[in-house]
Amino acid sequence: MFEAEERQWWYRGQRALAFALLEPALAPAARRRLLDAGCGTGYNLRALAGLGRASGVDLSPAALAFCRERRVEALRASVLALPFADGSFDVVTSFDVIYHAWVSDDRAAAAELARVLRPGGLLLVRVPALRALWGAHDVEVQSRHRYTRGELVELLSGCGLRVLRATYCNSLLLPLLFARRTLDRLLAREGSDVGFLPAPLEWAFTRVLRAEAALVRLGFSFPLGASVVALAQRVE
């Protein structure tokens, strides 16, 4: 992940999609605090630093070691028990975290993410989508669940958040991914999908996801996709 997060097509494209949702909703702010809850190896913190002071938490000591190597601010904590006061952050992000087997209660995790948001603050959550895509990658990365758009919206709404946008993403490549996962099951393949493709495919797939990001920024929502992402606001 550390090697792939900066340059691999999926990570680059998903960052573009996340910012396409988040940036248009941000109010002007001279000093903005951001939290990446489940920051992994830390590259998203570098990207978020362009929006304000960004810090992260992760439960994995190995992930935090990579964060130190990247010189980003992160500490060890679970999304089920964030070590911050209520209303500490203007923006909270959580990229592919609450689906994980280490998060035993996604409702409790979502409530914690909402708790540390200030009133009017924004929460951006992305999770893997569609049970039909379950495969060897999910087993390898210790997935607990793949969500539908409705499930994610209901989860965030149940925490007192107002969902502003919710869309599937990694949608244009969905037929290829479905075919890949079907073949994996037939061949009993094991292991993660994280890795680099030949350079022409890396270039092409990155452009596909950036095209999706451009459509999302214009207000388009996809009806199906390999991931689902939602932007919500704390209204209390």
Q: Can you tell me the distance from the alpha carbon of 131 to that of 228, in angstroms, rounded to the nearest whole number?
A: 12
Q: Give the mean model confidence (pLDDT) for residues 57-77.
A: 96
Q: Which two tokens stand for residue 29?
A: 């702010």
Please state the pTM of the whole predicted model.
0.94
Q: Where are the domains of the chain?
A: 9-234
Angle at 229 between CA 62 and CA 76, to 5 degrees: 25
Q: Under CATH, which architecture does the 9-234 domain have?
A: 3-Layer(aba) Sandwich (3.40)
Residues 168 and 149 sit within 8 Å (Cβ to Cβ)? yes
Pairing of β 161-169 and β 227-234: antiparallel
Q: What is the pLDDT of residues 107-133, one digit of tens each?
A: 999 999 999 999 999 999 999 999 998
Q: How far is CA 228 from CA 55, 65, 174, in A?
A: 24, 29, 12
C-beta neighbour count of 225 within 10 angstroms: 24
Q: Can you tell me the distance from the alpha carbon of 5 to that of 69, in angstroms, rounded to the nearest whole number?
A: 14
Q: Which two tokens stand for residue 166?
A: 């919710």
pLDDT value, residue 137: 80
Residues 83 and 58 sit within 8 Å (Cβ to Cβ)? no
Residues 6+ positions from 124 with CB-CB distance below 8 Å: 18, 21, 22, 91, 92, 93, 94, 229, 230, 231, 232
Q: What is the pLDDT of residues 156-191, one digit of tens each?
A: 999 999 999 999 999 999 999 999 888 877 887 777
Pairing of β 117-128 and β 227-234: antiparallel
Q: What is the pLDDT of residues 191-217, one digit of tens each?
A: 777 778 999 999 999 999 999 999 999
Q: What is the pLDDT of residues 8-31, one digit of tens each?
A: 999 999 999 999 999 999 988 878
